Amino acid sequence: MSVIASTLSLPVQTAGCRRLAAGGVRALVGLLLCAFGLLAQAQESPTLRKIRETGVVSLGYRVAAVPFSYLDARRRPIGYSIDICERVVDAIRQKLALPGLEARLVMVSSATRLPMVANGTVDLECGVTTNTAERQKSVAFSITTFVAASRLLSRSADNIRSVADLRGRAVTTTVSTTSMQYLTAANQARSLEMKILAGADDADAFQMVRTGRAAAFAMDDVLLRG
């Protein structure tokens, strides 16, 4: 939109995270595969066992994570991550000799995606989730499928040229994301006294900037452009 001027690099803290994850590594969350390696193991995983017994694999999708997972004009999930998951499901069908395996789509959000994978509601999250050491304590990750950088998006009218220009101002990001962690860490480390607003999703956070409630939106660059 014409009201958006530019994106600015956001300083991040890497404590407690793998080096690549802190830099914005994006991967599909799942309990099924690592470069299809788990599919070739002689010992079947609990998740594969459940899929074999039920004849269903549950795929978590996002509704507005462009270009990874979002809804088309007919309200059907599409995107880069959805395409990858469809290939994974095909591989599972072949591995388990279940040509009629049903792929059940389950909507998830930034707040619910990890708990739903961890508790088995979703077998594979087909969205966009940063691989961090902390998250690896509860879920497994595939190999890296995308690399992005954390950025700040602002309105041209606000004339923001650096992170320092956000001192004392409202800044938004999406709830339960690593961007929230990075933004909070930068705020504390630089004593910026920013008011951090949590958007329910990316569209909500973007709207805060568009309407002037927030001076900037912190998120991965590819999602900001989407």
Q: Are strands 56-61 and 102-107 parallel, antiparallel or unpaired?
A: parallel
Say if residues 143 and 37 touch (Cβ distance below 8 Å): no
Classify 192 as helix, strand or coil.
Answer: coil
pLDDT given at position 22 = 31
For residue 33, what are its two tokens? 């595969």
Q: How far apart are CA 193 and CA 125, in angstroms?
A: 35
Q: Which residues of the chain have pLDDT under 50?
A: 1-40, 42
pLDDT given at position 7 = 37
pLDDT given at position 43 = 61
End-to-end CA distance of the chain: 11
Q: In what helix (H) or strand (E) does residue 125 lie, and over which residues does it extend? A: strand 124-126
